Amino acid sequence: DGYFEQVVRQCRYSSKDLQGIEFIDSYVFNKAEYIRFNSTVGKFVGYTELGVKNAEAWNSDAAVLAVERGELERYCKHNADLHYST
């Protein structure tokens, strides 16, 4: 019993071209995704009432968006060679 919170970070590689990489940062509460950042969209999208409120706040904060947008370079592109070698 209790609550379950999870953050899922994904790099989706569609080709060896580094321009085809997509970074997704999902926030899940009790198995329901409530907000997601997608590097292709470039902003947070909310899926629940709380997620929509958080998306509005986080999208209006340039520092938060800069960190998320930087994750594509730092997290995905940096590890692309590892992904392609397996």
CATH of residue 10: 3.10.320.10
Shortest CA distance to 66 belongs to which of 34, 44, 81? 44
Rounded Cα distance, 62 and 65, in Å = 5
Name the residue with tokens 């919170």: 5
Show Cβ contacts of residue 75 under 8 Å, excluding neighbours closer than 6 positions: 9, 11, 23
For residue 44, give its domain range: 5-84
pLDDT at position 83: 65
- The predicted-structure confidence for 2-40, as pLDDT tens digits, reads as follows 899 999 999 988 766 677 889 999 999 999 999 999 999
CB atoms within 10 A of CB 39: 20
- The predicted-structure confidence for 51-81, as pLDDT tens digits, reads as follows 999 999 999 999 999 999 999 888 888 777 7
Structural domains counted in the chain: 1
Shortest CA distance to 64 belongs to which of 24, 37, 31? 37
